[in-house]
Structure 1
Amino acid sequence: MSQTPHNQTPYVDRDAHFAKLEELAGVAVSIETLFKTEPNRIDNFVMREGPLRADFSKQQISAAARDALLSMAAGCQLDEWRAKLFAGETVNTSEDRAVLHMALRGVGGTHDIQKDVEAMRKKIVKFANRIRKDGVFKNIVHIGIGGSDLGPRLVADAFEASAEQALTLRFAENVDGASVNDAVKGLDPKETLAIVVSKSFGTQETKMNGNAVRAWLTEALGDKAGDHMLAVTANRDGAQEFGIPASQIFDFWDWVGGRYSVWSAVGLSLQIAYGPKVFAEFLKGAKRMDEHFRDQPLAENLPVMLAMVGVWNRNALGFTSQAVIPYARRLRKFSAFLQQLEMESNGKRITRDGKEAGLTCPIIWGDEGTNGQHAFFQWLHQGTPGAPVDFVAVLKDHEDRADHHRALLANCFAQSEALMLGKPEWKVREDLGERDDVDTLAPQKTFPGNRPSTTITLDELSPFALGHLIALYEHKVFVQGVIWNVNSFDQWGVELGKVLATTILSEIENGDAGDHDASTAALMALLK
């Protein structure tokens, strides 16, 4: 393993690798042609791991381009970086931290870290089982934002597919008063447990919502309101200053990034609402993907392939965005979850060396299918420049509506085919026949096709499969960070707006006129 200090990056000639990708992109043929010239394309571009199958064959990547991408991954020392990650070495160089969220799933970390994780897990399991058995609390209000909200919210939706005995789980995330109002609407305070989740316990939105829920509880319960509030944090002192007793605080650690924290005590509300056994299966699914990523060679490694396809689309083909479309309503938050995971991790313009980076993370966006077909799919099919799509589908029907499920999957599979094949102008003209306006109308009804997509299918939407899927994308982010030479585990870009918001709020509340640009000053004056 390289002995380069963790605050320096070993020299890698990335320019040569990117130049090779650009050369191959310049001679790329259509996806449809690749299917004709590469008879083993399905065998070479479809990968399966556990309950997950990923079909990359509809990407505009030839066998030669795939080999160049794998060569690039090796040349950028991905093997060495991967070893550092799992060994618990400092890969978050700007904050001088290891990155050990895999330890929450039982992979990596020192003996002491695993002891801490196991102790916290046992504490949570015991507590969650007691709450579920006692039956006093029937409602959980989870208060958090960002990673303290998106992960638990996504998982809660998905757990509903197989939940047998679930408590009511609500979320309050936005500082907009509607968020907390919706969270507590119709709930009985005597049957409600509030969990305030904040790594730093300094997040404005979370503290305001926590205070609002505490006031709601106090109005109904008086002094007993405190018995209905818990905290999950890496800042125990901050939680106690907020008014949460030490015995009602569940810890996680500074080596757990917020967007990677659902596996930790941040998932306490999930364990109470759905049961620790369900959550344990979720952890097992992620652990299996961790082991696959750690142990498999680059050419047979699913997260590596997913990541390098993204590098090809971004850096060789020049796409500016990536759509993620889950054809599963219970994964409807997946696109939003990935927006934070990918864009907060790799949305960087400066490398680990403090230099200007090239093209890094594309815009991540999407919505559930089939809703998107009646909205932005027009742009995907005929807009400029279009975007690669990750389709995510579940093969098993969990809703006891087989006809609905067949129609859902038919739409998913049809869209990927339509994006690839398009509809040529000669075919449009043939369909239109002899019309006076054919020269005007035919180009408008032509679909260019050759628009790339990946289709990921899960055998079922089990907690295990969900953990498998989320961990896949976590490791994709890490791989792309290595290729682009950015630190995927800090988020300095989040801070400036938060600092200015605190200043402006103080000035609004105190009636002060601070030093601002004319536009901001005029906006603040609207509140006087």
Structure 2
Amino acid sequence: MTDRHTLLSSIATEADRDISIASLFDAEPDRLENFVMREGPLRADFSKQALDAAGLKALLDMAAKCDLEEWRSKLFSGEKVNTSEDRAVLHMALRGVGGTDENKAEVAAMRQRMADYADTIRADGKFKNIVHIGIGGSDLGPRLVADAFEASAEQSLTLRFAENVDGASVNDAIKGLNPAETLAVVVSKSFGTQETKMNGESVRSWLGEYGNSNMIAVTANRAGAVGFGVAAENVFDFWDWVGGRYSVWSAVGLSLQIAYGPDVFADFLDGARAMDLHFRDQPLQENLPVMMALVGIWNRNGLGYGSQAVIPYSRRLRKFSAFLQQLEMESNGKSATRDGATSTLTCPVIWGDEGTNGQHAFFQWLHQGTSEGRYGGAPVDFVAVLKDHENRPAHHAALLANCFAQSEALMLGKSEEIVRDELGTRPDLDALAPQMTFPGNRPSTTLTLDELSPNALGHLIALYEHKTFVQGIVWNVNSFDQWGVQLGKVLATTILDEMEAGKSGDHDASTTALMQLIK
């Protein structure tokens, strides 16, 4: 295996030249053909990236030297690519791709049980509400998907979420609901997560006499769920080869099936399956997740950008940036390689908000702000839905116009010469003109979905999952563990125990003083 530092240094060397994005369209007449890719309802336009044909070739050569194709085969064949935890990574098997015969049988049985249960609940009519209790991957995925399903699917039950240990979260989730008509779904892979267990206990207390009959659990720790008080027949399983941030495709999505129906959820899985097959079967140079990953590596390791903005121009995708924060930053926010060495630059900060809200907040910085990146600001992934699902065509046209205009403005900018010509001879010209100049040449990718169907959403999420895997291979980090979340959780348990006992243990002066504020 070639040293990653050497390979990524070669990318930095290749990127160490000025590239005018706008000029590439003339210099490379086939640019759109080479930098626009489609899979099903999803189209990705990378042509506004500060990446030319020579740079792309260097990236593809680097990926080959990182044994990407071999690692891809290991992933789909069920080898234990999660090396630090000695686990296979088979969330694709939840969509019907890869895995062993045993995995496939387990998945098929659970999918049938989920569908049957969802159909029974929907037909019975006893429950009018679902309170989904989880955090991290047990919340962000289902919450994102629930918002997106609203665009094209009919919701049969009210769906609320309780995730944060802040009491406001559980209070908001149960506000105005009738316990007799509410099903609580407690979702935790380990069934040891403090926030989920505390919220589960609070909701069970609120359910009162319905605390046993109206609560089910989704977990990889069946014994933990039963010990918590959930009847064994009300526990839905998933497996240790499903990472939490990759788990929405499993029984973690049961609340979605109940609220929107098994057929809608199946269409969602089918969309992801199509992207899985594309990623598995297409050569690197024609592979959409590979292209997306390599563009990100060019921006991070070549151009030196420390962050990546993701701006969905769709209110139904407003949780997408938060979802990707966990997917990418928990997966690849690592500073040690698989063999324990110090890594090179890995995952950038992922951030964003829905358009057009962000235009009235942080777009000032995107257009004119400074950063460590070569051309300033941060690379942007714009995400747009072409079909109007809200029956408000004027709104939708304005939304898309803003999305397309922002990517063009980031690329073209506005020169000081043009600004001076527009301002004329006003006395403050020398001071004002530089302030009104836009440097431009700021990179972006535009992803468009033909419609916000469950199938298209499946394509979109699976695209980013596989992008994350590819980048982890190039950076030589284990994308499927998360040791970095553990230390703070352990210390929080210690501090809570000490606060409840009215004492303070051995802490630094600042932490001790903070704990004393509670007294």
Q: So what's the TM-score if we normalise by structure 1?
A: 0.97
1:413 counterpart = 2:404: yes
Q: Give the C-alpha shift of residue 165 in structure 1.
A: 4.1
**Residues in 2 aligned to 1:378 and 1:462: alpha-carbon distance in whole angstroms:** 32
- Secondary structure (helix, strand or coil) at the match of 1:483 reads helix
* Cross-structure match for 2:260: 274
- Give the Cα separation in 1 of the matches to 2:14 and 2:26: 18
Matches within 5 A, 1:252-401: 252-385=238-371, 386-401=377-392
Which residue is equivalent to 2:34?
A: 44
Q: Report the Cα distance in structure 2 between the residues aligned to 1:367 and 1:516, rounded to whole angstroms.
A: 37
After TM superposition, where is structure 1 displaced by more than 6 Å over at least 4 residues in a row? none
Question: Is the CA contact 2:122–2:156 (under 8 Å) kept in the aligned structure 1?
Answer: no
> Partner amino acid for 1:62?
D
Which of 5, 12, 18 is matched with 2:2 structurally?
12
2:224 aligns to what SS in structure 1?
helix
1:135 lines up with 2:125 in the alignment: yes
Distance 1:35 1:501 in 2: 54
Task: For residue 15 of structure 1, report the CA deviation from its aligned partner.
Answer: 3.5
TM-aligned CA deviation for residue 20 of structure 1: 2.5
Shift of 1:33: 1.6
Matched, 1:482 2:473: yes
Which residue of 2 is the match for residue 447 of structure 1? 438
Q: 2:79 aligns with which of 86, 89, 95?
A: 89
The alpha carbon displacement at 1:13 in A equals 3.1
2:18 pairs, out of 10, 28, 37, with 28
**Partners of 2:349 and 2:16 in 1: how far apart?**
24
- Say which SS state the counterpart of residue 120 (structure 2) adopts: helix
Match among 123, 137, 160 for residue 170 of structure 1 = 160
Per-residue CA deviation, residues 410-462 of structure 1 (Å, 9 max, x unaligned), is: 00000000000000000000111001110000001100000000000000000
1:512 aligned onto 2:503: yes
Aligned to 1:8: none
Distance in 1 of aligned mates of 2:211 and 2:96: 36
Distance, in Å, in 2 between the alignment partners of 1:18 and 1:176 is 42
List gaps (5 residues or longer) in structure 1.
1-10
1:112 aligned partner: 102
RMSD value, Cα: 0.7
Say yes or no: does 1:238 pair with 2:224.
Answer: yes
Partner amino acid for 1:325? I
Determine if the alignment matches structure 1 residue 402 to structure 2 residue 393.
yes
| Residue correspondence of structure 1 range 118-129 to structure 2 within 5 A | 118-129=108-119
Q: Contact (CA 8 Å) 1:28, 1:62: kept in 2 or not?
A: no
Give 3-state SS (helix, strand or coil) of 2:518's partner: coil
Show CA shifts across 1:369-426 (max 9, x none): 0000000000000001210000000000000000000000000000000000000000
- 1:472-507 residue CA offsets vs partner (Å, 9 max, x unmatched): 000000000000000000000000000000000000
Q: Matched residues in 1 for 2:94 and 2:19: separation?
A: 44
Identity between Structure 1 and Structure 2 (%): 75
Q: Distance in 2 between matches of 1:97 and 1:308?
A: 26
The aligned counterpart of 2:192 is 202
Q: Is the 8 A contact 1:199 1:258 kept in 2?
A: yes
Q: State the TM-score, normalizing by the size of structure 2.
A: 0.98
CA displacement at 1:259 relative to structure 2: 0.1
- For the pair 1:72 / 2:58, whether they are aligned, the reply is no
Checking the alignment, whether the CA contact within 8 Å between 1:351 and 1:487 is kept in structure 2 is: yes
Quote the residue 2:374 is aligned against: none
Distance 1:22 1:160 in 2: 43
- How far apart are the structure 1 equivalents of 2:66 and 2:218? 38
Q: Return the offset for 1:57.
A: 0.2
User: One-letter code of the match for 1:468?
Assistant: H
Counterparts in 2 of 1:174-193, with a 5 A limit?
A: 174-193=164-183
Question: Structure 2: which amino acid aligns with 1:474?
Answer: E
